[in-house]
Chains A and B, each alone.
Chain A
Amino acid sequence: MRFSALKILTEGLTGNKGWKPHWRDPEPKAEYDAIVIGGGGHGLSTAYYLAKNHGLRNVAVLEKGYIGGGNVGRNTTIVRANYFLPGNSEFYSHSLKLWEGLEEDLNYNVMHSQRGLINLFHSDGQRDAFARRGNAMINQGDDAILLDRDGVREILPYLDFDNARFPIYGGLYHPRGGTARHDAVAWGYARGADQRGVDLIQNCEVTGIDIENGQVTGVQTTRGAIRAKKVGLVVAGRSSQVAAMAGMRLPIESHVLQAFVTEGLKPVIDHVVSFGMGHFYISQSDKGGLVFGGDIDFYASYAQRGNLPMAEHVMEAGMALMPMIGKARVLRSWGGIMDMSPDGSPVIDATHIDGLFLNCGWCYGGFKAVPASGWCMAHLMATGTPHEHAAGFRLDRFETGRGLMDEEGTGAQHNLH
């Protein structure tokens, strides 16, 4: 089933009775060429690109819950390519390019909206740092505009420019940044993978990973044993548990990141605004809700909900930045579980077990990475070698110290990112 204007018109005139499920609900086969554990955004895009780019169609995605029920449905939908360090820059740049062609590629409306992202700064030193970051973005081939105070005032007139602690000096404007509809991203990749023959097996929890003589041979699941000589772990949020089934300990701590949404309002915030000093960022969904969040709660958690001090902190930061949001009523809040790595950057790498590949450590930035993560993970699983755009995401960088990607410059240690 393909979407087209004619199809929508026809369905509209005939009571919308002709729509079919977007993907099959197959029984797991006894053996696949490759298994992707995890049916989130990254797992689905991995399976999609395995089929599309590498012709690997005898593939299963094993999801313990349902498609779209994990972190891919629990984020704040920001899409951007404003990284500074080599290793990250080219990867997120590649991802943004994939985003820009995603709807056409998937024939699916993921509501990708390049409304522009502004990172605010509040001192001369911070201006220098953002100018440097902007130059790195431009060198990478992406877009960045350094706005002064008046430039920010022109597009974000509703901010409190004279905040006593953090007066606004300007902002780094990334016009190609924006948002997308997170559920649609999962659904679009799921449908695209399914159309190419990938089996999406839902309600199928992996309970063991079979390894013989250092080679992965398959997995044990709640729906029986499934054999495969290639297995990808794409389970950010639960990476430590699944890796432990293969006897691995990972450099990952799981933390909870909260997010909030208000009741629907008329259009008022046209961009993504990031207030780093207050640990606050915000955008407005197409439904009208103000979607905002802040920092992680800073303690290990798998609870998918946080505590009130961080909720209060986020609200205070929002009020300090844009007092008008005090009029809005918060509708709900939620938490997503973040794979926090020591240097704040992810891992896409082979493991010491033949045929077992690892995709984890996305910290609080996994959503925008969904296309490139799958693209590069599929390349790694199909060819056995890292993709050039993800060549820096090596697992051994923590042990060797080579190629650490610490965007914040705080040190490659847990609890600093």
Chain B
Amino acid sequence: MRIDCPCCGARDIREFTYKGDALALDRPDPDAGDAAWSDYVHNRDNPAGITRELWYHDMGCTAWLVVTRDTRSHEIAAVDLASAVKEGVA
């Protein structure tokens, strides 16, 4: 796999660290309750198909990226800066 970093261009996945589902961009409210927080921390949709996930470009620009990827084929459809996604720009 190669990830097309918005800052650095297409790079080998060895430059990146995988974090997991991009749900970290949508945290529950601090007072949402134990059930909501447990669900957020532990449970996953874990789709066999298109997923959005966080990757960290630690051997490049150190940006957090949101990668839209197919877990059945490893095909990458889109790569966005997590900061832009968070701000609703991407």
Contact = CB atoms under 8 A, between A and B. Distances in A.
Bound pair (A, B)? yes
A415 B71 contact: no
A249 B48 CA distance: 14
Nearest to A241: B48
Contact of A298 (B18, B41, B47): B18
Contact of B71 (A249, A251, A303, A309): A303
B87 interface: no
Contact of A251 (B20, B35, B44, B51): B44
Contacts of B71: 254, 300-303
A415 B48 contact: no
A307 interface: yes
Contact of A302 (B39, B42, B45, B48): B48
Interface string A373-398: 00000000000000000000000001
Sorting the interface of chain B by its residue count into under 10, 10 to 19, 20 to 34 or 35 or more gives: 20 to 34
A98 B48 CA distance: 34
Contact of B46 (A253, A309, A342): A253
A193 B51 CA distance: 38
Nearest to B49: A302
A415 B18 contact: yes
Contacts of A238: 48
B27 interface: no
Residue of A254, A298, A302, A309 ringed by the most chain B CB atoms within 10 A:
A302
A399 B44 contact: no
Interface residues of A, number: 24
A53 interface: no
A158 interface: no
Interface string B41-62: 1111111100101000000000
Contacts of A413: 41
Interface string B2-38: 0000000000111000111100000000000011001
B37 to A, nearest CB: 9
A240 interface: yes
A37 B67 CA distance: 33
A73 B39 CA distance: 33
Interface in A141-195: none
A414 B44 contact: yes
Contacts of B39: 249
Contacts of A240: 44-48
B72 A302 contact: yes
Given A309-B12, A398-B38, A415-B19, A303 B74 contact: yes
B44 A253 contact: yes
Contacts of B19: 415
Nearest to A237: B48
Contact of B43 (A250, A299, A301, A303): A250
Contacts of A250: 43-44, 46
A192 B18 CA distance: 43
A49 B38 CA distance: 34
A252 interface: yes
Contacts of A415: 18-20
A254 B38 CA distance: 19
A42 B42 CA distance: 24
19 contacts: A240-B46, A240-B48, A250-B44, A251-B43, A251-B44, A252-B46, A253-B20, A254-B46, A300-B46, A302-B48, A302-B72, A303-B72, A307-B13, A307-B74, A398-B42, A399-B34, A413-B41, A414-B44, A415-B18
What 3 A-B pairs come out closest when comparing CB atoms?
A240-B46, A251-B42, A399-B38
Interface of B: 1, 12-14, 18-21, 34-35, 38-39, 41-48, 51, 53, 71-74
Given A300-B20, A307-B13, 10 more contacts: A241-B48, A251-B42, A251-B44, A252-B46, A253-B20, A254-B46, A299-B1, A309-B13, A398-B41, A399-B35
